[in-house]
Structure 1
Amino acid sequence: MVNPVLFWIIAAITVIPAFSLLFARKAVHVAMSIVLVMVGLAAAYITLGAPFLGMVQIVVYTGAVMMLFLFVLMLVGVDQREDLKETIKGQRWIGLFTAAGLGAFLVSVVGRVTVAVSDTPVQGDPDVVAVLLFEKYVLVIEVLGFLLITAAVGALVLTHTPRLKPRRTQLEVQRDRVLAGADPVNKPMPGVYARHNALDVPALDPEGQPIDHSVSRVLKIRNQTQEGVEFRAALEDPSRKEGDR
């Protein structure tokens, strides 16, 4: 017999996260609520005398499936929210009527179910389940394992892209760039050194000559660049005021 206090605690752990699924806005909150629901179900199984089923619930669903969901959510992004804009007109009403019909169907089916009380105790111990799995249903277990391994290998084969050429190292890439005429370091920033920082003005080298490739080629195509010679000439003008130096 299950303790009533323990039952209500387990029920709260299971039902409250289940209701939170209806109001959660972030996918990670939904996943964590499902984890709590599964933990509550596992606790209910254990208190009802099915420890093997409870441990399977925790190990398989909570420990493997839900952790995989959380891992995918972390890769996709936890800040992304679902778009609440209706892409199909009337889909909200269609969903409500479908849910109401499904609920009425479940109520009618559950109301007709009769539970017969058996005097024979049900054998649900882990050793009994293990004997059934690995003696009577050993062929089914082996076939399921083979299918899972085949699915995993197939997923790896489908997602794997073979390389036609060996992967180039960073040293090889840099050497090819230098041989092609590229700068061995980053391009200089636009703007005249220490006097001007506009993006449309080329930088000056140590000799005072403009560096053409320091300005974006988009600005060159639009004819929105300025020559750096005039700024250098202004710096070399002896008629400048002493306070401008």
Structure 2
Amino acid sequence: MTVTFWILAPIMTIAALGILFVRKAVHAALLLAVVMISLAILYASLDAPFLFAVQIIVYTGAILMLFLFVLMLVGVDASDSVVETIRGQRLMAMIGGLLLGLVLVAGLGQISLGTAVGLDKANEGGNIQALANLMFSRYVFAFETTSALLITAAVGAMVLAHRERLTPKSTQPMQAAQRVKDYAESGKHLGPLPPPGVYARHNAVDTPALLPDGTAAKSSVSRVLIARGTIRSAPAMAEPIDEVQRSIDGVRDEEATP
């Protein structure tokens, strides 16, 4: 335990300080993952397999990864992270940090004075069994209250995210009629766009489709690739239309010759 602590303590401290000073939120979340994984290893070294599994599966594997997914999907500007959107947010954060510090000092004081229960007595009969005994006996009211709070929070999130449908759900005939209407008004193509590489000699996404006259269909490639200028020349890669037509005519002449 001592060796594991002295190895992980500097790593956790550096990662925790990095969370405060890095400029990008994604980097801060990755550093938080380092802290959580290191904490899980400390739990394992203290003969607490249940807390180790919960720390890895719930916090690191579920909550943090969900946070990273939302962060990368939505995106957070670095300039927005310093804006205080809630009045008194910094004061509440300072008070919460002081309270957390007092709790840590009290816990370390109990360990130093010898009033804390040892690991052997705490894990008597098995770590998971002892934890379940405490959770469903002495702390059963707090456990059930926390469960009800989490269920209420989940239901509240569903209610807040729910939106009443203002328009009827579009059916397939309605969508077909809308496509015909768009074609009549703006000339928008009725069907799906041609996929890249159709009638070309290469089916890569940067190769445009060829129309029957041999010209490239600009709508068959991504606008991003067009803006980057990485589009291949499909007509240059394809066989010349005249040669193809002559070969077809030659085959027809051979078939027509008795």
TM category (shorter chain) comes to: 0.5 to 0.7
Tell me the TM-score normalized by structure 2. 0.53
- Map of 1:126 onto structure 2: 128
Residues 46-125 of structure 1: pairs in structure 2 closer than 5 A: 46-77=44-75, 80-82=77-79, 110=105, 113=109, 115-117=112-114, 121-124=120-123, 125=127
Against the structure 1 CA distance between its residues 127 and 110, is the aligned structure 2 distance closer, same or farther, given a 3 Å change threshold?
closer
Tell me the TM-score normalized by structure 1. 0.55
1:139 deviation in Å?
Answer: 4.7
Identity of aligned residues (%): 41
Against the structure 1 CA distance between its residues 146 and 113, is the aligned structure 2 distance closer, same or farther, given a 3 Å change threshold?
closer
1:85 deviation in Å?
Answer: 8.1
1:138 deviation in Å?
Answer: 4.0
Against the structure 1 CA distance between its residues 54 and 83, is the aligned structure 2 distance closer, same or farther, given a 3 Å change threshold?
same
Q: Secondary structure at the match of 1:185?
A: coil
- Map of 2:188 onto structure 1: 185
1:150 and 1:68 mapped to 2: Cα distance?
A: 20
2:159 maps to amino acid: V
Against the structure 1 CA distance between its residues 85 and 77, is the aligned structure 2 distance closer, same or farther, given a 3 Å change threshold?
closer
Against the structure 1 CA distance between its residues 145 and 19, is the aligned structure 2 distance closer, same or farther, given a 3 Å change threshold?
same
- Map of 2:17 onto structure 1: 19
Against the structure 1 CA distance between its residues 86 and 155, is the aligned structure 2 distance closer, same or farther, given a 3 Å change threshold?
closer
2:101 and 2:154 mapped to 1: Cα distance?
A: 36
Against the structure 1 CA distance between its residues 161 and 37, is the aligned structure 2 distance closer, same or farther, given a 3 Å change threshold?
same
1:47 deviation in Å?
Answer: 1.0
Residue 38 of structure 1 contacts residue 57 of structure 1 at CA under 8 Å; is this kept in 2? yes
**Structure 1 residue 42 and structure 2 residue 45: aligned?**
no
Deviations 1:159-218 (A, max 9, x none): 11121432225313223445xx513436xxxxxxxxxxxxxxxxxxxxxxxxxxxxxxxx
1:33 deviation in Å?
Answer: 0.3
Aligned residues: 168
Against the structure 1 CA distance between its residues 64 and 43, is the aligned structure 2 distance closer, same or farther, given a 3 Å change threshold?
same
Residue 25 of structure 1 contacts residue 82 of structure 1 at CA under 8 Å; is this kept in 2? no
Residue 14 of structure 1 contacts residue 40 of structure 1 at CA under 8 Å; is this kept in 2? yes
Deviations 1:27-53 (A, max 9, x none): 000000011001111111221232222
1:151 and 1:162 mapped to 2: Cα distance?
A: 20
Instruction: Please list every run of 5 or more consecutive structure 2 residues that lacks an aligned counterpart in the other structure.
Output: 85-89, 190-258
- The structure having more radius of gyration, on CA atoms, is 1
Q: Secondary structure at the match of 1:22?
A: helix
> Cα RMSD between the aligned structures?
3.6
The structure in which a higher percent of residues are helix is 2
